[in-house]
Amino acid sequence: TFWHLLASQTFFDSTSYRKTGLEMLLEIRSDDSALKCLAEADNDGNTPLHIAIEKRNFHFARFVMEILPEDSFEKIMRKRNSKDLTPIDLIGSAECVPRQFENFIW
């Protein structure tokens, strides 16, 4: 999906002030069907959040975590991929995790 492709980018900066993907993402944020795509898994069982964390794309991961409704957020954080790993597991095994993710490690 679009989200999987965006998550696989090594650089995502939601603080950009240019009219770029950020404005488009903010518009998508209000589209329930687009948000549902964030829970979709690829052939390896990875959601866009799995991919973002694996690629150390923590800006995108944080953005996803902020825009998800709470009930969807909890489901996605516990969703297991084909390696039986959740996004929480991936955060716990990542090196140099940003502070805002530390509360998911314990």
pTM: 0.74
Q: What domains are defined for the chain? A: 2-104 (1.25.40.20)
Question: Can you read off the two tokens belonging to residue 7?
Answer: 């998550």
The three-state secondary structure class of 99 is helix
CA 98, CA 55: separation in Å to the nearest integer? 14
Q: What is the pLDDT, as a whole number, of residue 90?
A: 93
| Tens digit of each residue's pLDDT, the chain (106 residues) | 767 777 776 555 555 544 456 666 667 677 777 778 888 999 999 999 999 999 988 888 888 888 888 888 889 999 999 999 999 999 988 888 888 777 765 4
Q: What is the pLDDT, as a whole number, of residue 22?
A: 61
Q: What is the pLDDT, as a whole number, of residue 69?
A: 82
**Tokens 């800006």 correspond to what residue?**
59
Q: What is the pLDDT, as a whole number, of residue 84?
A: 98
Q: What is the pLDDT, as a whole number, of residue 11?
A: 57
Supply angle C-alpha 98, 91, 38, rounded to 5: 100
Beta-carbon contacts of residue 52 (< 8 Å; ≥ 6 apart): 7, 8, 12, 58, 60, 61, 64
**Tokens 């998508």 correspond to what residue?**
28
Per DSSP, the residues of 19-87 read: SSHHHHHHHHHT-HHHHHGGG---TTS--HHHHHHHTT-HHHHHHHHHHS-HHHHHHHHT---TTS--H
